[in-house]
Structure 1
């Protein structure tokens, strides 16, 4: 659905990272973890395209006896559109299309849920963690980044009683190095079943897909595709499926078939 949304708050939470809260119609409360929205910034043709942003959190406030649905997103200022969005204050209006896409499969409740992400890759994992905790699944977050600034909203995860394992490449917070080291250490000690859930750069997702395949674990990845329309019309955000070859092309549309895929269903290259 498409709707006019009002900004409730828009604050910088780390260098170049922002957290925004907006109003939504009642139907938006049915959004599921892993879904996203397409945001139109400004009323003109520049920027021309909407920006895809994952739903970070979702809730309802009672004001004067009237229920108001709200949702939050995380974004990083990297270009003109997000720079414009960072200048908008409470009361400003933006045009929203969503919720869109296919979200995470919650899986069984009798296993550990291991969430892996960093930077904006943490955005779709918080609503997922909220739902998994509600189902009483044990949840671990493995958060990685180049610096401490890339580890967003850890306090929010900790309030859910999620166990957080952190790593930074420069050693500014948590262990020094890649977060996959901490993940492998945890998996080595794991006694029961587990499912991996991840969002982040392609290199990290590729590494996780390899870990999951070697350990025979289910692994769901949320892809950060470059989207123009968000509804499968332009086919600009396709990912390569596992059966792809020059003779039998196999492409998956990230905005409609995803953004969440089982890692084993994709082709990750060498």
Structure 2
């Protein structure tokens, strides 16, 4: 869907990290965890391209007259012109939205433990996933990491879902000191071979580390990739990533926006360049 959306709120929740709530058509309520939207953040040709943002949450409000309105939320980090413009918008302003788009997470067996791993803005697509998994009565744990406590977003909301949260920061300002993958490995050791599925979103080095952990332990792992996108629907092929069979002689590319952004980690070739 392409629609004009009204901003309901747009607040800075941590230095350079923002949370925005917007109106949406009723059909948007069917958005699934891991999907994203493409946002046109300005009324001019600069910036020319839309910006992709993960859907953090979807909700609805029923008014006194019985009518129901749908809204959704995104988390974003101010890093360039597009996100700077977005941070300057206020309630009542409007933006053009294309979405929901992409392939989301697959839930797997309800009785196995679900281990969610996120860093910084990579936590954004994991909240809707956690909420759905909790509804399915799956045991859910979140492993959240960042450079400092400023990169650990919305932990209280995960905890209110009943998610057990483990945190680590590189500067030691919150949780363990170091990378959150250390805590993930320690927990997997304690599971002693029990079934678990990993879900991860964040910077590429973290995703590579989580994918290796999953491969070494023969565990299923789904990763949500962050990529610069031009169209969001697979038409331009500007956001491809190497697949597992990729080589100089046999190219194997996966389109992040149309085939992803969520992939089985074993379907990708880690460390290769597109």
Which category describes the TM-score, using the shorter chain as reference length?
over 0.9
The equivalent of 1:84 in structure 2 is: 85
The equivalent of 1:10 in structure 2 is: 10
The equivalent of 1:211 in structure 2 is: 213
The structure 1 residue matched to 2:199, chosen from 190, 197, 200, is 197
The structure 2 residue matched to 1:268, chosen from 255, 267, 270, is 270
The equivalent of 1:221 in structure 2 is: 223
TM-score by length of 1: 0.99
Q: Distance in 2 between matches of 1:148 and 1:247?
A: 45
Q: Distance in 2 between matches of 1:112 and 1:123?
A: 20
User: Which deviations, in whole Å up to 9, do the C-alpha atoms of 1:187-228 show, x marking residues without a partner?
Assistant: 000142100000001100001111000000000000001101
Q: Distance in 1 between matches of 2:228 and 2:255?
A: 11
Q: Distance in 2 between matches of 1:59 and 1:17?
A: 21
Residue 34 of structure 1, CA deviation:
0.1
Q: Counterparts in 2 of 1:50-69, with a 5 A limit? A: 50-63=50-63, 64-69=65-70
The equivalent of 2:147 in structure 1 is: 146
Aligned residues: 270
The equivalent of 1:32 in structure 2 is: 32
Q: Distance in 2 between matches of 1:42 and 1:214?
A: 45
Q: Distance in 1 between matches of 2:9 and 2:67?
A: 20
Query: Hey, which bits of structure 1, 4+ residues long, moved more than 2 A?
Result: none
Aligned residue for 1:11, secondary structure, equals: strand
- Over the residues paired in the alignment, what is the CA RMSD in angstroms? 0.8
The equivalent of 2:116 in structure 1 is: 115
Runs of 5+ unmatched residues, structure 1? none
